[in-house]
Structure 1
Amino acid sequence: MKNGKKEIWVSSAGKKGYVPPRIRKATGTEKVIKNKSISGDSINRLNDAEQTILREANARGATIEEIGATRDMCKACQNAFSNQLNTVVTPLKP
């Protein structure tokens, strides 16, 4: 964060925006980011969890030190993180 504080965020994904308790418990946070884009669809993938986190970080002026997911990061998200791929700790889809 801008103030030097470190936070762990989890993001909802998909239409339901649900994050299972096992994920929240594993990360040690109850904070769920739900910064959804009204223009998100299955092609641009704007509401994938990774891009939701990226939008929230940009909105708050936060720096993403690492980002991981329960599935491989898709091409749309890889493109969104193109200048930050060194922060990705999740396998990337080919």
Structure 2
Amino acid sequence: MPWFVKIEEGIVEKPVFDQYVPAHVAYVKALIAKGHKAKTGYWGKRGGGMLLFEAASKEEAKAIVEQDPLVQNGCVSYELLEWCVVVE
């Protein structure tokens, strides 16, 4: 299955962003339970992060990203890219 990356940048103040973090964590755990091998984290500097996951297609990846509470609540702007793994 192809890998996809959502590279995001926070676009709201931290207190607003932080109220949706628990829902985001639950969302990522649900992706893991569904077999998407998701991993999420943030950059060492404040203001952005990344979600890495498997999906069957770019369309499925886009649908998955649109379910992220951080996206649904307007907390981040993002770019969705397919990541082509060279070595595992």
Higher helix share: 2
**Quick one: higher RCO (CA 8 Å, sep 6+), 1 or 2?**
2
Higher strand share: 2
TM-score above 0.5: no
Report the TM-score, using the length of structure 1 for normalisation: 0.30
